[in-house]
Every structure is written in structure tokens, then in C-alpha cells.
Amino acid sequence: MEDKKILPRDVAAVFEEKGLFEKDVLFFVKADLDLDFHYTDVYCAATSDTLAVLSGKRNIISSRKFFGTLHTDTEFCEYSYNEFEISKLADFSCDMNISSGLLSAVFDGERTGIVRFSMSTKNKMFVFLDNIKKLCENGSISADEIKYDDEELCCPKCGNRYTDPKRKICPKCMDKAKLIKRLSVFFLKYKFYMLISLVSLVATTALAALLPYIKGSVLYDDVLDVGGKYYGKILYVVLLIIGTKLLSVVASTINGIVTSRISAKVSYDIKKTVFGAISKLSYGFFTSRQTGGLMTSVTADANSIYYFFCDGLPYLLINVVQFVVITGIMLSINVWLTLGAFLCVPVFLGLYRVLLLMFDKLYAKNHSKRRSFNSTITDILSGIRVVKAFAREDDEEARFNRKSGDFADSSKRIGVVNSCAFPIISFIMHIGSYVVWAYGGWLVMSGSEGFELGTLMTFVGYMGMIYEPLGFFSEVSRWWAECMNSVQRVFEILDSIPEVEESEAPVPLKEPKGAIEFSHVSFGYDKTRKILDDIDFSVKPGETIGIVGETGAGKSTLVNLLIRLYDVGEGKISIDGIDVKELSFEDLHKAVAIVSQETYLFEGTIMENIRYAKPDATDEEVFMAAKIADAHSFIIKYPDGYETRVGRGHKALSGGECQRVSIARAILKNPKILILDEATSAMDTGTERRIQKALGLLSRGRTTLMIAHRLSTLRDADRIVVIENGKMPEYGTHRELLDKRGVYHNLYKLQAQALKTIGIE
């Protein structure tokens, strides 16, 4: 939904030509397809009595840049215009197809298409649908009742697309000063070390500022000059220089050691904080992201911040202090020479500013390419079995080369800009030194103002120290740009709010009995399509409930809602009469265990993987759980038995073996509610029968939800829930559902025929 206050001026002008004034528009929406599926700009505007549909194209007639911001003038070219009287419209609906949707209504007794739209604008269209329905039903709608799309894709400040529309955080518009202020919290924990670093920093700068004076005025005017007060005592000067240098090295070493300790600790804290924040985010956060991208955020971004604050910031502080102190000394020696030395500094600072902005963009793009590259590697290696099974090695190698090439090109652009820009900046920066030598030499030869050779050499020494910080500033700009991009991404994660949040005052579930109730539950991953619609059933403690349906019907989603991987959109799910939203995550997950069709074993021993559900379990408890899951027999056949290491680079278990270890893990937890999501899908018939028998014994005294593709495994279930297209058309016992001759009967009949064909009765 669009707010009428931002109706484009050129579009508003066309509406006004038709007699529809912007002040009368209550709300409007922009679609992107006409009724013939052609891409175009379509504006639907609603007033109290009219729905107007204007289609056409916005053409840019002029553009200009002002202070780095592009301003454009547009003109709307009209293709078509239709008006509908609100009083004659009824029964609005949005019908979704594979790649588009149609907003339609009954107009003068006939179903009429209003506007088509692509999937990219469907959220706005459904919000517009709610508003227009309310307007038609009530005859009016107040400003407070008008809804606006809460899934805006672009930042209102800069217009750039959000990296994640759900979080609505724009990296470009984040206040960098505030980011640094927030980042400083990580450093304030180490105030003592920072004080030591500051003292050593001041000492290093002071000693560095002393050396040019010793090497210049003292050496040339007091030691080498016949009339000098220390004439001939060159050994003392050399020892003084060496001593000063050694003290500077000691102070610099102390500063480096302390700073490294602080930075390493801060890097550890950042990684720990980021991973902790990621682990607390909802399941939906991970389903929309690639593993490689998250790995980059945890490791590369934290390291980038570490390198800047370890290798960049300390020396930046040294150079800033040095720059201020040395500038003051140079001014005290000769103002005009100082102005000559700084002759080209404004040009340098201007170029520095331009390069800072340029590197900011280059490093942002480079990170994006690197993250995509890492994700591609993870994707290919994780799916290497499928790659080889379909002989797609060449295709995946080509995909890898393409991503690697993109990353290399991005890195090359940074290198090219660096190689071209900084030599030029260095030359411009040193133009002032040529002026100093010329003017300073003239002052020495003319004896003007008592200016001597030693004074000139002292000034030149300080000038070299001034150019060193300026040169460092040009280098640190690249580090700063990369660090700021990393800081933005880190805080983008830290600022993310979980979609599923724990209750602030949870209701305790001390002794769960296992009663479950789904009360008119509806859910959709987005507001335009319901995966589950009005699911309503209850389960008594100790009952076994089967859940069946075609692939994609919503069976797994149903149990995901029970364990709060997602929250219901409508309705309520209760355990022992308590809404699961009111339970603490700890109580909920203690009461429920799940064996999924997607088994996962962590890298470690089989014993550790089973004990993952109950870290304090004894060996005997682990053995008993493995025996019930029919895993003990194959585990003891391995040379190392339960100490056999599994996971990447270790013993590879078969699908059925992994599943049995996973079942043993759930059994060890001893929950009151057990969820079996296709738990025996990876097992042969013999193993499946043994597991079913074991699970039958296990399920006594506990509530069990069984999702099964093979319907014959649900014959002994107390009742069966049938899911079809997100709805629950049938609910009853195995015999009752067969007698109904409905959805379950058809599924059972088809499956029985298929099993009979392959010789399984």
C-alpha cells in the first residue's frame, strides 16, 4: 500500500485532468501489469465514491545531480483510464496464479477484472484489498482504519532496497557515528588496558617529536657549528638519539602489545555476541539465508573489525596526535614555511574524501561477491553427492568459476583504484616539501630572521613527520571503509528482532501431561497464501495421533507451529490448556521431542550425539535408548563402538542408521510429547517394523504425533488428521476414515495398489 501523501506529482496531474483530485484520494496502490499481462505502471486510487485505475508509463524528461544526489523530472504517459462507482462494486477478491494475480470485483452484476499484478507487489495488493473491502462494506473509511503495507521493500530515505524487508534496516542510512559509539561499548570493558595504551601512545608521540629537534638544531647548530655551545660533542648527541629511539621503541612495543590484547578480546566478544544473536533468532531467519553468508558475518566481519582496531585505530590515534603536535611546533618555527608545507593539503583532503566514498561502495560490493562466493562453495560441497549422481561436475565447476570470477573482478577493481589513486595523492602531498626546500634554502642563505641550517633541517624533519600521518590517513580510508561495512552488517544482525519471542512472564509447565489442542489454527509464510487454514482438533494425554496428506500439504508445518519454530497467524495451540506462546522455550522444548525426516548428526562420537538431548545422562541410559531405537546392534559392530566419531571427515552412517541414532536421542530425552516426522522414512521394511514395535512401547504414557507417508503404519493410531491443501477435511480413526470413502480412503487405496505392484502387501 502506498500513502496518498507520496502520490507522484506527474501521476497526480493526470488524475486531476480526469477530475479526480489528490486531496480526495483516500488510499492508492501501484501495480505493474495491465489486464493483458503487459508490464506497465498502473495506479489504483480510491476516493469515497470512485475507484480509478490509471495505466501508463513514467518517462524521465530530465535529470540533474545536486550535491551527489540525482534529481529527475518525470512525465506520465497515459495508456488507459477506467472509473468504477464504489456503490456498484461488491465481492472483491485477489486470485493468485503461478506468477501473477488478479484483483477483481462484481460490477453491475458481472465479475470484472480491475488490475493485474506480479508477485513482487502482491503484499501491497492484499492490503489494498482489505481497505477497498472495508470502504465498500461501510460506505466510508477513516484515516485510522486505513492499513498500509508493512512489508515495504525500500528505504524511505535513500530509496535503496532493504537487504531484508522484514528487518527494514538500510546499511546506507545507518548513522556511522552511532555505530562507532555502540562499538565502543565492547572496548569500555578494558579501561585499564586502554589507559596503559594511552600513556604509551603519548610517550611515543613525545619522543618522536623530540628526534627532529636533536637531529636538526642541536646537531647542526650546537654540535657541528664552531660557535655552538656543544661543539665537537657528537658522541653525546648520537647516544642521545639512540636513547630517545630506544625509549620510543619500548613505548611503542608496550602500546602494540596492549592494543593487540584489547583488539583480540574485542574480536572474541564480537564473534560471541554475533553468534549468540544469530542463535536466538527465529527459524525463519535461517531458511531465508545461505550458510556461507552467515559464516561471513560471524568470521570475516568480526576479523575485519579486529584488523582495523588492532592495526588501524592505534596508529590512527598516534598519527592524529602526532599531526597536531608537530603542526604546532612547525608554526612556532616559521609560519610561512608551515603554510608552504600545507600548500596542497586541501587538495589531498578533497581527494581523500572522494576515495573514502568510493572505497565504501567498492568494499560493500566486494563483500557481497565474497559472501556469494562462499555460499556457492558451501552449496556445491554440501550437495556433492547429488552433483556426482547427475554428472553435473562441469556445470558446478562453471558456476564456481563464474562466482570466483565475479569476486576476483571486484577485488581487482579495488586494487586498480588503489594503485592509480594513491601514487597521485602521494605526489600531490609532497609538492609542499619542494616549496619548503626552496623558501627555506633562501632564508638560510640570506640569513633572514636568524634562520640557520639546523633550523631548516629541524623543520624538514618535522615536515616528514607531518607527511607520514597524511599518508597513513590515505591508507586507513580503505580500512575504515571495509570496517564500517562490517560494523553495519554486525549491528544489522544484533538489531534483528526474532519473529518468535519468548513470553516476558512465562507460565510454568511443571509436570506436563501431554494434552494438545489446535484451536482454529491458520498460518502462512506470507500474508497472501495460507499454508494451514482453520485446523481444529485436540489430543488427550497418551494418545497417538497420525497426520497424513500429500507432499506439501502442511504436515510438517503443523508440528513446527507446536514447537514454535513459527507462530500461528490465527487461532491458538495449547499444551495442557496453556497457550504455547505463554510457555518458556525451556519448558516447551523439555516437554516435546521431535524426530525429523531431516536427520542431522553433529561432528563427534555417537555417544555424544545421543547424549545431546540429555547431557547428564549415564552410559546405561544411552545404551537403553539406543536399544529401544534398534541402534545398539549396529553401533557395537564398529571397532570403537559408541566412541565412533561421525560427521564430516569421519565415519559415514547410512540414512537408516542416522535416523535410528536420532530416534535414540529423542528417546533419551523422555518427553511427554513425541513428534515423529517421517521418522522411519529412511529404513527398510524389516527395520521399520522393529522400530514401529519399539515406538509402540515407547509411546505408552506419552502423547505421540506421527507424520507418515506410509499409511499402513498408522493403523494403530487413536485418530488420524487428514491435511489437504492446508485444510483438515477429515479426522477420525483408521476404520472411520476408510468407511467415509473420502480423501483418506483414496490415499490409502492408491498406496495399497502401489505397494501391491511392487510385491508388498
Burial of 348 per CB tally in 10 Å (0-12, 13-18, 19+): buried
Contacts of 100 (CB under 8 A, 6+ apart): 33, 37, 116, 117, 118, 119
Write down the pLDDT at residue 153.
Answer: 56
pLDDT digits (tens, 9 = 90+) for 359-369: 777 887 887 88
pLDDT digits (tens, 9 = 90+) for 685-729: 666 666 666 666 666 678 889 888 778 778 888 899 999 888 899
Write down the pLDDT at residue 579.
Answer: 92
pLDDT digits (tens, 9 = 90+) for 440-468: 888 877 777 667 777 777 787 778 777 77
- Please state the rounded mean pLDDT for residues 7-11: 84
- Please state the rounded mean pLDDT for residues 628-632: 84
- Interatomic CA distance for residues 569 and 448, integer angstroms: 86
Coil, strand or helix: which one is 596? coil
Q: Rounded mean pLDDT of the chain?
A: 79
Task: Please state which of the ranges 159-163, 219-223, 621-625 shows the lowest mean pLDDT.
Answer: 159-163
134 pLDDT above the threshold of 60? yes
Query: Domain residues of the chain, as ranges?
Result: 4-138, 176-494, 516-757
Write down the pLDDT at residue 372.
Answer: 83
Angle, helices 393-446 vs 453-494, to 10°: value is 150
- Please state the rounded mean pLDDT for residues 235-253: 83
- Interatomic CA distance for residues 77 and 21, integer angstroms: 18
Residue keyed to cell 465481492: 91
Write down the pLDDT at residue 3.
Answer: 45
Contacts of 670 (CB under 8 A, 6+ apart): 614
DSSP string across 185-227: HHHGGGHHHHHHHHHHHHHHHHHHHHHHHIIIIIIIIIIISTT
Going by pLDDT thresholds of 50, 70 and 90, the confidence category of residue 68 is very low
CATH class of 176-494: mainly alpha
Stronger pLDDT, 223 or 386, i.e. the higher one:
386
Kindly state the DSSP code that residue 311 receives in the 8-state scheme.
I
Going by pLDDT thresholds of 50, 70 and 90, the confidence category of residue 374 is confident
**594, 677 Cβ separation under 8 angstroms:** yes
Nearest to 83 by CA among 19, 137, 150: 19
Same fold, 4-138 and 516-757: no
Nearest to 679 by CA among 718, 706, 700: 706
First-to-last alpha carbon distance for the chain, in angstroms, is 56
Q: Give, in degrees to the nearest 5, the angle at Cα 678 between 537 and 619.
A: 105
Question: Which superfamily does 516-757 belong to?
Answer: P-loop containing nucleotide triphosphate hydrolases (3.40.50.300)
- Please state the rounded mean pLDDT for residues 665-680: 82
Count the Cβ atoms, other than its own, within 10 Å of residue 734. Answer: 19
**657, 575 Cβ separation under 8 angstroms:** no
**What are the cell numbers at 285?**
531467519
- CATH placement of domain 4-138: 2.30.29
**What are the cell numbers at 434?**
619542494
Write down the pLDDT at residue 521.
Answer: 92
- Interatomic CA distance for residues 76 and 74, integer angstroms: 7
Going by pLDDT thresholds of 50, 70 and 90, the confidence category of residue 84 is very high
Task: Please state which of the ranges 173-177, 656-660, 741-745 shows the lowest mean pLDDT.
Answer: 173-177
Beta bridge partners of 110: 107
